[in-house]
Structure 1
């Protein structure tokens, strides 16, 4: 028995060999620097962002400074069903990994039985008792097949955990973007309401002026048309605000609480997002969870090749048991009742019609597919970051120009209204001023939303949002 134990230990030690291909991370098929649109002038915000913390180091509570939005994100992370499914997937693959790890070791079980019987036509009774400990079908992992499968299961588990992080980052970005969409539609609703009030006032004024002979019926009809169009827009934005709220309810997985903290309007939200630094392109390889997921999937495919290679070699299994057998229970463990079995077996693949070769070819092709997916994930990430950086360098000047346009349109409207009342300008001039002001205010809100959404996208594509608090704060 001592020699047998030594042989088993030696066999287990020999099982440490691996037929996995040597792992080497594929080179990133992108430039070493970001590709961005040239800014009209280096803004102070862009200069400050250069020294700002990296997105992956900045917790979402520190990036989103709006207390109302922080509460919504907190509710979404706790209740969103996609997050629950992602967490359960991680738990499932973690259990699968533990199964693969358990297959490496032997399965030892204890058993006991007692039999008492009388043969047909006999008056004698026969008794039998047995107890033992057995080792059932332990595969000696000489060529690392089981260890390769264990590594593959581990990489699948790690890839699933990275996918959960991707789901969290996407959820946070979606909640924040839809929250800004709600603020935008509320701002547009208020602008449209102001426009309806102004058009109603203009319509009433035009009717009065027509009665006095200083305005025509054509002016009245044009004022009426403008008022009707504004009312239609008011209904549209009222519907949009209600739908935005429904979208948020679906994302947070619960009704909107009545005690939500007071948040800023869209016009007040420009400084509610923190500055972030873009870092260098190599940061994405370790900071973006979708790239990390693709790399773990590729490592799993690499381990699968090792398992496929090991299938070409002999498979050795051991079955052993030791115990005691006696015709009476009282004598079960006395001298002379011991019994043991030791049954090693070996199976060698000789002819399988090319099954093992085809399995190895499949494993190699799957690895090539995973390499292509890994490279695609990097290229997609590079494109997303470059586009978001291009937006950051241009939206600042665009919003500033929109604000100047809106201020100028307001002055033009005020002047046209005064001149129309004085009879200096025609109603067409006032109507043009009204439309210009409405368009300018809408454009300002739309571009402010686009700028804020682009900053959220930049935070997301740089790998931000996986932690609640910043890395510096945690130290």
Structure 2
């Protein structure tokens, strides 16, 4: 009896696990150009001249040189709630995969039961009222599907690929988080510089206003000159208050990303140029970069999952065979339950052949095919978006050094213009309006230079992100 049960179960396992009916997967062709858009020679050399490794192999600990920024990024990777949700999504997907995978194996269970029943005389075969008892114990499997046409295997493949996609989603969140923290850090540093410039300007304008007020008292300067000088002072005060408020908001944003309060001595006082990022990154070629970005890998795995689901939909057109089997012992007396001659077994194969489903199976197959087409379109759109992000980053990088050099020259010229305008005003050659224009131009030029330096650093961070930086595991670098 036991031999027959085990033989039947073994035969069922051998019959199961056939080839999936899912279509053979072929990766769609890249819907983008084979090369990045042409950029200037200076920009191209600035990206790839001294960095042999592609961006994907550059861990964020190698990319970020600022020690305090490293500490804040490490803190955010440990405490950020978005990243924590992404990690929990992986755990959830892993559990769902295990649930689906369990369908590929028989469900075995041990059961035991006891029943007592009293029957009246007119229902009892002996003609007398009586009590009957029955006890049983056994082991069995219930409704195990023989996967002859790969339905269970296709569903298992789909669950596995969706689980793997959540891992890529977490990498995407982590890479985005590193970039967000770095940009928030840069923004705070830039606003600190803007506040310092506003304070310096306010102090200088107060001194200039004092001189103009003294000149007005002596009858040298007009009341108009005095009021014009006052407007500059008040404007600088407005900027001081504005940047003070903005710095508090920047700190709040950085704290949210880090997931907890950041020590004050870790926060930047300036942008720390040349201490934030590496100067060079290897842009590589589109086929290498785009196909290995975590978000693209996630989209492709979801496409493969949709492709696998077609196999399950196709298998629904074919017969489904399930087995229910049990073996054990039964007796009318609990004390005799395991005595010789009390054994029993049952074997119940069941065949379900779809004949008329009202078009349900065809509709399910159509849905799975459309889902596959949607996933392919989303995959191609992800690649196109990634290509544009890299192209935009390279385009900005190609001109930003030249912009910064021109802005530095503009600041120098504005300094000379302001110095000459003030000297001519003190000699009575020009009106104070000329000085005001020169002051405003110099202040705006310096503010624009801060913004341009921030844009340059932010462009490096953006390139690191869009090139898929650090998606491969790399050993951590200890902070000094």
TM-score interval w.r.t. the shorter chain? over 0.9
State which drifts further: 169-178 or 418-427: 418-427
State which drifts further: 324-333 or 395-404: 324-333
SS at match of 2:22: coil
State which drifts further: 376-385 or 10-19: 10-19
Deviations 1:340-393 (A, max 9, x none): 000000010001111100100010011011111000000100000011111122
Q: Aligned partners of 2:269, 2:229: CA distance in 1, in Å?
A: 34
Is residue 2:175 matched to residue 1:169? yes
Is residue 2:182 matched to residue 1:180? no
In structure 2, the residue matched to 1:97 is 97
In structure 2, the residue matched to 1:20 is 22
Is residue 2:452 matched to residue 1:450? no
Which sections of structure 2, spanning at least 5 residues, go unmatched? 122-127
Q: Aligned partners of 2:231, 2:459: CA distance in 1, in Å?
A: 37
- Conserved 8 A contact 2:5-2:325: no
Is residue 2:376 matched to residue 1:371? yes
State which drifts further: 307-316 or 394-403: 394-403
Q: Aligned partners of 1:418, 1:43: CA distance in 2, in Å?
A: 45
User: After the TM superposition, which residues 167-246 of structure 1 pair with which residues of structure 2 at under 5 Å, given as runs?
Assistant: 167-246=173-252
- Conserved 8 A contact 1:67-1:263: no
Q: Aligned partners of 1:21, 1:222: CA distance in 2, in Å?
A: 78
State which drifts further: 117-126 or 20-29: 117-126
Q: 1:156 aligns with which of 142, 159, 162?
A: 162
- Conserved 8 A contact 1:62-1:469: no
- Conserved 8 A contact 1:168-1:465: no
- Conserved 8 A contact 1:36-1:387: no
TM value normalised by structure 1: 0.93
Deviations 1:288-321 (A, max 9, x none): 1110010010000001000000000001010000
Backbone CA RMSD of aligned residues: 2.3
State which drifts further: 164-173 or 354-363: 164-173
Offset at residue 414 of structure 1 (A): 2.9
User: After the TM superposition, which residues 68-147 of structure 1 pair with which residues of structure 2 at under 5 Å, given as runs?
Assistant: 68-115=68-115, 126-147=132-153
CA 1:34–1:75 in 2, change beyond 3 Å: closer, same or farther? same
State which drifts further: 339-348 or 223-232: 223-232
In structure 2, the residue matched to 1:9 is 10
TM value normalised by structure 2: 0.92
User: After the TM superposition, which residues 266-415 of structure 1 pair with which residues of structure 2 at under 5 Å, given as runs?
Assistant: 266=271, 268-274=272-278, 275-415=280-420
Deviations 1:167-201 (A, max 9, x none): 11111111111111111111111111111111111
- Conserved 8 A contact 2:47-2:282: no
Offset at residue 248 of structure 1 (A): 1.0
CA 1:264–1:205 in 2, change beyond 3 Å: closer, same or farther? closer
Offset at residue 10 of structure 1 (A): 4.1
In structure 1, the residue matched to 2:124 is none
Offset at residue 425 of structure 1 (A): 4.0
- Conserved 8 A contact 1:249-1:256: yes
